[in-house]
């Protein structure tokens, strides 16, 4: 049956015979248009930026170990604060989760040979290193941007103008990159699935990327607009946001959060996608509630566009807005809850393998329950007014970003590393990494909630001495987190060179990326695969299936 399928067209490899079917190391430093190369480029650069952002976090926490600003000057603290937030979001999570995993996996998961617009894809990636360079320059020219990753005017207009300008430019560049990437993902998923794959047979990661891309397309231009207006205010004498010249400071906040609230879903939706791939494989069960998970991504995308004002409850917000946005914010908890329950139900009755990928996935689940619940409390305007702009918020969003996005990226790396590199990561080292990360995350970010409720505002280099003890605890946690990355980076570098050979499908997974070599050959498959079973057919009878080259897939084991 498979043989007759129209999707089988034994295309010649791009290079023809005699050419290498693997890339060489120096290909990764070029304007390469292969989606796998671009995916790896994104991943590697973002992991480098992760170290930079993490280094800044450790310096900040060292400062905060004591109430006085005795380690960093307050200006330097604010510069680290601003760049830590900016790097972690725009140069770590977004490029790793969307650019890295998205580019590497999407064509492989839908049976395509590349993205729809390979050159555009390369351009999107190559906007990132210069953006990073501009941001770095902003740090060394004039002391760094000082006004936080939100850069509210008028503060951003009166502090350190040159670095603030560069900061805006860097953001416009990564924003452009993200728009180009999104168009590419949408067209690729829409047009390039193997003919045998219907929408509802797509892996859930693809659904997540659809939702992510739609969101990025709606929201990112607004960020770019805010940045351009801010740039003009700073450099060309306009007064969009200058109160003493007729401007309005709150308008900026609306523009900024119209992008930046959805941006948190941009960061988490691909991670949700990763979760939906990792958990079924290692629990050996079909994902529970495929449709519910797919549609809840779209719901989050839609509702996520109407909640931004919950960042502005204490700002210039009319009463009706506080009410409307309280309700819409709380509603986001419903689709998120659906996902969490579905993953737990996927575990239920499974045969769970304790791989590191699975540990991080389950760790994420557990973190997300906490971060999600504290998020609900923040949605309720009367309580948010008390804790807004305090460490409660810092604790909450790190639970979601560290316990959520970072755990998800780790989980994805442990899961797909064999596919990406052809080699396995070392599992015992991975477990050390997991334990340190798990403990470190809880220790670092839980006490922050207490601090905030008790009265410690955020973004401070110095604080009331009554908060010293809890802050020391947090700082110890941060050091544990800093140590936790050592086994990981070591593991990745060492295993990439010397790790155990993985073979095409070490986890016995069922999505399409596992039907080709590890690492995949240059055009992904010699003969495009044919879909004979859904992406999560664990435990089901699959006698008729045929692999890429006509061999049967590993027998179903039920």
Binding residues (CB under 6 A) for ligand HEM: these are 54, 57, 60-61, 81-82, 84-85, 88-89, 93, 148-149, 394, 398, 401-402, 406, 444, 458-459, 478, 481
Closer to ligand HEM at the Cβ: 293 or 406? 406
- CA-to-CA distance for 256 and 21, rounded, in angstroms? 45
311 binds, options ligand HEM, other proteins, none, Cβ within 5 to 8 A by partner type: none
- CA-to-CA distance for 384 and 392, rounded, in angstroms? 10
Closer to other proteins at the Cβ: 43 or 57? 57
State both tokens at 108.
């492989």
- CA-to-CA distance for 539 and 552, rounded, in angstroms? 16
376 binds, options ligand HEM, other proteins, none, Cβ within 5 to 8 A by partner type: other proteins
431 binds, options other proteins, ligand HEM, none, Cβ within 5 to 8 A by partner type: none
**Distance between start and end Cα atoms, the chain:** 24
CB of 256 to other proteins, least distance (A): 13
511 binds, options other proteins, ligand HEM, none, Cβ within 5 to 8 A by partner type: none
68 binds, options ligand HEM, other proteins, none, Cβ within 5 to 8 A by partner type: other proteins
The Cα angle at residue 443 between residues 397 and 54, in degrees rounded to 5: 60
Closer to other proteins at the Cβ: 62 or 176? 62
146 binds, options ligand HEM, other proteins, none, Cβ within 5 to 8 A by partner type: other proteins
Closer to other proteins at the Cβ: 79 or 179? 79
Q: Buried (b) or exposed (e) across 119-158, using 16+ Cβ within 10 A? A: ebbbbbbebbeebbebbbbbbeebbbbbbbbbbbbbebbe
Closer to ligand HEM at the Cβ: 69 or 196? 69
Closer to other proteins at the Cβ: 386 or 500? 386
The answer to whether residues 226 and 254 touch, using CB atoms and an 8 Å cutoff, is: no
Closer to other proteins at the Cβ: 56 or 186? 56
443 binds, options ligand HEM, other proteins, none, Cβ within 5 to 8 A by partner type: none
340 binds, options ligand HEM, other proteins, none, Cβ within 5 to 8 A by partner type: other proteins
Nearest to 407 by CA among 361, 354, 355, 346: 361
Strand partners, 390: 457
235 binds, options other proteins, ligand HEM, none, Cβ within 5 to 8 A by partner type: none
C-alpha separations of 271 from 19, 37, 39, 81, 310 in Å = 36, 21, 15, 25, 23
250 binds, options ligand HEM, other proteins, none, Cβ within 5 to 8 A by partner type: other proteins
Strand partners, 521: 524
CB of 97 to ligand HEM, least distance (A): 10
CB of 347 to other proteins, least distance (A): 4
Closer to ligand HEM at the Cβ: 95 or 520? 95
Residue with tokens 């001495």: 465
- CA-to-CA distance for 363 and 274, rounded, in angstroms? 13
187 binds, options other proteins, ligand HEM, none, Cβ within 5 to 8 A by partner type: none
DSSP for residue 425: P
394 binds, options ligand HEM, other proteins, none, Cβ within 5 to 8 A by partner type: ligand HEM
C-alpha separations of 367 from 8, 125, 168, 233, 407 in Å = 44, 31, 33, 41, 9
- CA-to-CA distance for 126 and 240, rounded, in angstroms? 32
Closer to ligand HEM at the Cβ: 404 or 519? 404
Residue with tokens 């879903």: 265
- CA-to-CA distance for 114 and 392, rounded, in angstroms? 44
- For residue 335, what is the enclosing H or E element? helix 319-347
Q: What is the 3-state secondary structure (H, E, C) of 433-502?
A: HHHHHHHHHHHHHHHHHHHHHHCCECCCCCCCHHHHHHHHHHHHHHHHHHHHHHHHHHHHHHHHHHCCEC
DSSP for residue 90: I
- Select the residue whose beta carbon is closest to ligand HEM and give its number: 85
CB of 72 to other proteins, least distance (A): 11
CB of 243 to other proteins, least distance (A): 3
Total residues found in the chain within this entry: 558
Closer to other proteins at the Cβ: 212 or 390? 390
Closer to other proteins at the Cβ: 30 or 314? 314
CB of 441 to ligand HEM, least distance (A): 8
Q: What is the 3-state secondary structure (H, E, C) of 92-104?
A: HHHHHHHHHHHHH
CB of 475 to other proteins, least distance (A): 16
549: which residues sit within 8 A by CB, 6+ positions away?
Answer: 526, 527
CB of 284 to other proteins, least distance (A): 4
CB of 168 to ligand HEM, least distance (A): 15
CB of 71 to ligand HEM, least distance (A): 13
CB of 381 to ligand HEM, least distance (A): 21
- CA-to-CA distance for 546 and 157, rounded, in angstroms? 63
CB of 149 to other proteins, least distance (A): 10
155 binds, options ligand HEM, other proteins, none, Cβ within 5 to 8 A by partner type: other proteins
Closer to other proteins at the Cβ: 48 or 59? 59
Closer to ligand HEM at the Cβ: 265 or 507? 265
CB of 381 to other proteins, least distance (A): 6
């Amino acid at each position: 049956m498979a043989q007759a399928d129209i999707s089988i067209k034994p295309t010649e490899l791009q290079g023809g015979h005699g050419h290498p079917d693997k890339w060489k190391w120096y290909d990764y430093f070029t304007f390469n248009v292969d989606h796998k190369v671009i995916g790896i480029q994104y991943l590697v650069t973002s992991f480098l930026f992760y170290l930079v952002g993490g280094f800044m976090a450790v310096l900040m926490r060292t400062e905060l170990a004591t109430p006085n600003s005795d380690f960093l000057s307050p200006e330097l603290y604010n510069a680290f604060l601003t760049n830590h937030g900016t790097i972690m979001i725009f140069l770590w999570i977004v490029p790793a989760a969307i650019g890295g995993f998205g580019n590497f996996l999407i064509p492989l998961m839908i049976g395509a040979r590349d993205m729809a617009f390979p050159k555009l894809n390369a351009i999107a990636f190559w906007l990132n290193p210069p953006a990073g360079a501009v941001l770095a320059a902003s740090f060394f020219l004039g002391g760094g941007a000082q006004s936080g990753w939100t850069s509210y005017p008028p503060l951003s207009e009166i502090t350190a103008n040159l670095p603030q300008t560069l900061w805006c430019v860097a953001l416009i560049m990564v924003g452009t990159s993200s728009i180009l990437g999104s168009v590419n993902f949408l067209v690729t998923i829409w047009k390039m699935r193997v003919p045998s794959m219907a929408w509802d047979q797509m892996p859930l990661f693809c659904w997540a990327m659809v939702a992510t891309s739609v969101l990025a397309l709606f929201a990112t231009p607004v960020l770019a607009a805010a940045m351009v207006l801010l740039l003009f205010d700073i450099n060309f004498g306009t007064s969009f946001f200058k109160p003493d010249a007729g401007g309005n400071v709150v308008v900026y906040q609306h523009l900024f959060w119209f992008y930046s609230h959805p941006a948190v879903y941009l960061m988490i939706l691909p991670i949700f996608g990763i979760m939906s791939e990792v958990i079924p494989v290692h629990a050996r069960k079909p994902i529970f509630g495929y449709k519910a998970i797919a549609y809840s991504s779209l719901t989050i995308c839609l509702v996520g566009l109407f909640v931004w004002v919950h960042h502005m409850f204490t700002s210039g917000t009319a009463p009706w807005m506080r009410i409307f946005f309280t309700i819409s914010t709380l509603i986001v908890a419903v689709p998120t809850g659906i996902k969490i329950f579905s993953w737990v139900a996927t575990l239920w009755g499974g045969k769970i393998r304790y791989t590191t990928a699975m540990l991080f996935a389950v760790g994420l689940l557990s973190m997300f329950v906490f971060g999600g619940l504290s998020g609900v409390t923040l949605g309720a305007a009367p309580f948010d007014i008390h804790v807004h702009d305090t460490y409660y918020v810092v604790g909450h969003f790190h639970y979601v970003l560290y316990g959520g996005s970072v755990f998800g990226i780790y989980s994805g790396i442990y899961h797909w590393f064999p596919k990406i590199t052809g080699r396995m990561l070392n599992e015992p080292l991975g477990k050390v990494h997991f334990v340190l990360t798990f403990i470190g995350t809880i220790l670092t970010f839980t006490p922050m909630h207490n601090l905030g409720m008790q009265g410690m505002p955020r973004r401070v280099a110095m604080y009331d001495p009554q908060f010293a003890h809890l802050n020391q605890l947090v700082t110890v946690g941060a050091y544990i987190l800093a140590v936790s990355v050592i086994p990981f980076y070591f593991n990745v570098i060492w295993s990439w060179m010397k790790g155990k050979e993985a073979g095409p499908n070490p986890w016995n997974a069922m999505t399409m990326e596992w039907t080709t070599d590890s690492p995949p050959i240059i055009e992904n498959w010699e003969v495009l695969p044919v879909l004979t079973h859904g992406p999560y057919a664990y435990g089901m009878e699959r006698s008729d299936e045929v692999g890429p080259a006509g061999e049967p897939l590993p027998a179903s084991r039920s």
